[in-house]
Amino acid sequence: MFARIALAVTLALTLAQAASAQDKIEGKVISTTLTHCDFKPGGCAGHLVLDTTQAGKAAQVTVQVPLGTMIKRGKETAYLPSLNGSAVVIVLDPSKADKTAKSIEAQPSR
């Protein structure tokens, strides 16, 4: 009985870690397309193409950026067009079927 409970807890923790790892994607922004921008925090919409490595292979991933997506570079607000060439961590929206950003964190410029 105890072994089954321990196994269930271990499995649940493993699945939770795997799910959270899938909710983020990292890479370098190679292009952005702006479809709307109010130049206020969360006011830009469009998409970006991310150069990333998955399973040891380079891949390009398109991520949708809807209005309301918070984009930060350190403590500062950033705008979608300013992400070109930046290394980013994108938290994906789990409620969307496609790759849609919930938030984007760019590494500070040097």
pLDDT tens column, 2-60: 444 443 444 444 444 444 445 999 999 999 999 999 888 889 999 999 999 777 788 99
Asked if residue 69 belongs to a domain, the reply is yes
Tell me how far CA of residue 64 lies from CA of 73, 94, 98, in angstroms. 19, 13, 8
Q: Which domain holds residue 73?
A: 24-106
> How many domains is the chain built from?
1
Centroid of chain to Cα 62: 11
Q: What is the pLDDT of residue 2?
A: 45
Threshold 0.95, pTM exceeds:
no
58 belongs to a structural domain: yes
Residue 16 in any domain: the answer is no
Q: The domain that contains 28 carries what CATH number?
A: 2.40.50
